[in-house]
Amino acid sequence: MSEMSNPWKRLKDFTDARIALGRTGGSLKTQELLQFRKDHALAKDAVWASLDTSSLEAEIQNLKLPSIILTSQAESRESYIKRPDLGRKLSKESIVAIKNSTTEATDISFILADGLSAHAISTHAIQFLQEFLIRIKGHSLAPISIVKQGRVAISDEIGELFSSKISIILIGERPGLSSPYSMGIYLTYNPKAGNTDEKRNCISNIRTGGLPYVYAAEKLAFLCAEALRLKLSGVHLKDTFDPHLLKNESGKN
């Protein structure tokens, strides 16, 4: 069968998934095996990488926004991976830091957390914020929280301490063999410690080759407006965002 008439070859043009790898005898081709090992190594590195909080803090300062560096109760990366529960709760020092910095209630709390891929936040978070912030002018923002060893639920505690109507966390997603640096976003209306996942809305797969910044920013702005209008989020906030209403803009990632 020629390469042009091979249906697997045509499908491969539309996905990064490992299909149509070919074989040599009973084994994978050497090129495919080496690529697998490389991708596996990148995924492992992403999980164990540390978040560069200083660089993020400087970039946020360039946006003329205040920020605060926080930590979860997971004191190390190993602890974070072995004890997911500790990544969902703020350290005592971070709780005190928020209480000392907050003055009045805000509309939105933004959280940048390493999650399972600190590289995703370092690569995508600031560029995404630049796209999103121009779409929510007029809303008050709490200082942007930069969280080390953080999981999604930590956004509830942060949003509650800042007395925000909405908490939004940008977090590194679990690395895949074709996407080690993918960023996810979770939105929660009326954030409170102890919230469960059905109260959140998620936008996933923000990365090069995935969801573009412009699309994700437009969708999040829509969800924010609806959450504030209806005073709810999660399974009760229906995602009626119509991507066809977007102008012909391409993402910058």
Residue 170 resides in a domain: yes
Across 132-154, average pLDDT: 95
Residue 103 resides in a domain: yes
Residue 26 resides in a domain: no
Beta strand residue intervals within 99-199, DSSP E: 106-113, 144-148, 164-172, 183-189
pLDDT at 2 over 60: no
pLDDT recorded at residue 164: 96
b/e code 91-123 from CB counts within 10 Å (16+ = b) = beebeebbeeebeeebebbbbbbbbbbbbbbbb
Q: Is residue 11 left, alpha or beta, with left meaning phi > 0 and alpha meaning psi from -120 to 50?
A: alpha
Residue in this structure with the two tokens 């996942």, named with its chain if needed: 197
Residue 82 resides in a domain: yes
Q: What is the pLDDT of residues 144-162, one digit of tens each?
A: 999 999 999 999 999 999 9
- pLDDT category, 73, cuts 50, 70, 90? very high
pLDDT recorded at residue 253: 55
Higher-confidence residue of 17 and 105: namely 105
Residue 161 resides in a domain: yes
Q: How far is CA 208 from its chain centroid?
A: 13
The strand pair at 200-206 and 183-189 is best described as antiparallel
pLDDT at 216 over 90: yes
Residue 193 resides in a domain: yes
Burial class (CB in 10 A: 0-12, 13-18, 19+), 128: buried
**Domain extent at residue 112:** 51-245
Residue 251 resides in a domain: no
Domain tally, the chain = 1
CATH of the domain at 165: 3.40.50.11240
Residue 43 resides in a domain: no
